[in-house]
Amino acid sequence: MAGQNRLGPGNPERSPVRQFSSEAEVKAWEAKWPDKSKLAVIKIVYDRSAGELRVLGHGPSGAFTNSFPADPDLRSALIKAKD
């Protein structure tokens, strides 16, 4: 699955779906944000072993992290997060 990013008006970009083989790789990716501080960036992490879906955001007004309990099934987890 991939969503769209908006890098600016009329400039959508496809977001790659990444899979990580270690927790260290995930943590490094979660901590790395683009230098474009005027843009809001959202990252979504489905952590099957932790049983959660994490939503991380970073932008001009600050940063946030929310987590939601997740089913082992990604599709069900995304539906719950949307509600």
SS3 assignment for the chain: CCCEEECCCCCEEECCCCCCCCHHHHHHHHHCCCCCCCCCEEEEEEECCCCEEEEEEEECCEEEEEEEECCCCHHHHHHHHHC
Residue 4: predicted pLDDT: 47
Q: Considering its fold, how many domains does the chain have in total?
A: 1
What is the chain's pLDDT, residue by residue, as a tens digit (83 residues)?
334 455 555 555 666 778 888 889 988 988 888 776 677 888 888 888 888 888 998 888 888 999 988 777 777 767 777 76
Q: By residue range, what is the domain housing residue 14?
A: 4-82
Predicted TM-score (pTM) of this structure: 0.67
Residue 66: predicted pLDDT: 93
The answer to whether the beta carbons of residues 29 and 21 sit under 8 Å apart is no
Largest CA distance in the chain: 38
